[in-house]
Amino acid sequence: MSKQIASGAVVARILLSTATLLCTATALVTLTAVLDLGSCGPALGLPSAEIESLTKHLDAHKQVLTPIAKALTFSHTKAYDEDFQSACQSGHEAIDKALASGSGKSLAIVSDLDETLLDNRPFFEKIESKSEDQISWDDFESWQKTVKAKPLKPTEDLLAYARSKGVAVFFVTGRMERLRRVTIENLLKYGIAYDGLYMRANGDEQDASTMKSAYRKQIEDMGFEIVVNIGDQYSDLQGGHGLDCEKLPNKIYFIH
């Protein structure tokens, strides 16, 4: 009897282990799919339509156009404008939804800077005959120091709207700390109001997604709920710590 119970228990354990393995495998497949999408949204219940939208963006990126001239041409098309506007509109809606929920939490929006708020196309226009892998990031930094990058209006409006509603604005950028002064100068030049600027430590070479998600966690640890995380790179959005992720179009370059 006790042997039968023991055998039954062994069978039950085997079945449980098998089920656990299957669940784990399913979870891993799902997780891999989520990571492939590069979105913080799916793990937080992003609607499938938005996952489809992210997939569409990813597919679009796989068709990266080179030389840079072609990517720049795309950035002046109606499709680019619609993609950009649509992402920012979704950001507006996510803010409204969070405010309407009346959770009483301190809300925040996290935004990337380059190609999200600051438009560096004048720099890329000067090297348009080159391809993405020929971009000199030292020259790019020299351009950033000129503080000539103008704001991209849909993002500028989204951030202004957030702040007008009492939602804090935090910038999380891959720009190195050594560019802090010129970056603040560039933001002030165009009257961009914000509450915090998180930059990559000088010499830091970790993945952008690792660096940026750690900063978002810091923001959450201060007591904020990040209602929107917006950027032009999937690495801006990977790693969680954001209720709503908005991917902006950028075919000029890709950052891991």
| 161 CA to centre of own chain | 19
User: Quick count: other Cβ atoms within 10 Å of Cβ 160?
Assistant: 15
67 cis-preceded (ω within 30 degrees of 0)? yes
CB under 5 A: which stretch of 17-25, 143-151, 208-216, 232-240 binds Mg ion? 232-240
98 versus 241: smaller Cβ distance to Mg ion: 241
116 versus 238: smaller Cβ distance to Mg ion: 116
Find the shortest distance in angstroms from Cβ 200 to Mg ion: 12
CA 116/CA 244 separation, integer angstroms: 16
112 binds Mg ion (CB under 5 A): yes
Residues 24 to 83: which contact Mg ion by CB under 5 A?
none
- What residue type is assigned to position 254 of the chain? F
> For 115, left (φ over 0), alpha (ψ -120 to 50), or beta?
left
75 versus 116: smaller Cβ distance to Mg ion: 116
CB under 5 A: which stretch of 17-25, 113-121, 144-152, 185-193 binds Mg ion? 113-121
CB under 5 A: which stretch of 37-45, 114-122, 128-136, 192-200 binds Mg ion? 114-122
The site for Mg ion, by CB under 5 A, has a size of 5
Name the 3-class secondary structure at 217: helix
244 binds Mg ion (CB under 5 A): no
CA 90/CA 110 separation, integer angstroms: 14
Of 83, 119, 232, 244, the residue at the interface with Mg ion (CB under 5 A) is 232
Find the shortest distance in angstroms from Cβ 10 to Mg ion: 55
112: which DSSP letter?
-
Find the shortest distance in angstroms from Cβ 175 to Mg ion: 9
What count of residues does the chain have? Answer: 256
Partners of residue 39 on adjacent β-strands: none
Of 83, 115, 244, 246, the residue at the interface with Mg ion (CB under 5 A) is 115
CA 230/CA 167 separation, integer angstroms: 14
CA 11/CA 90 separation, integer angstroms: 51
Of 34, 39, 114, 170, the residue at the interface with Mg ion (CB under 5 A) is 114
Tell me which residues touch Mg ion (CB under 5 A).
Answer: 112, 114-116, 232
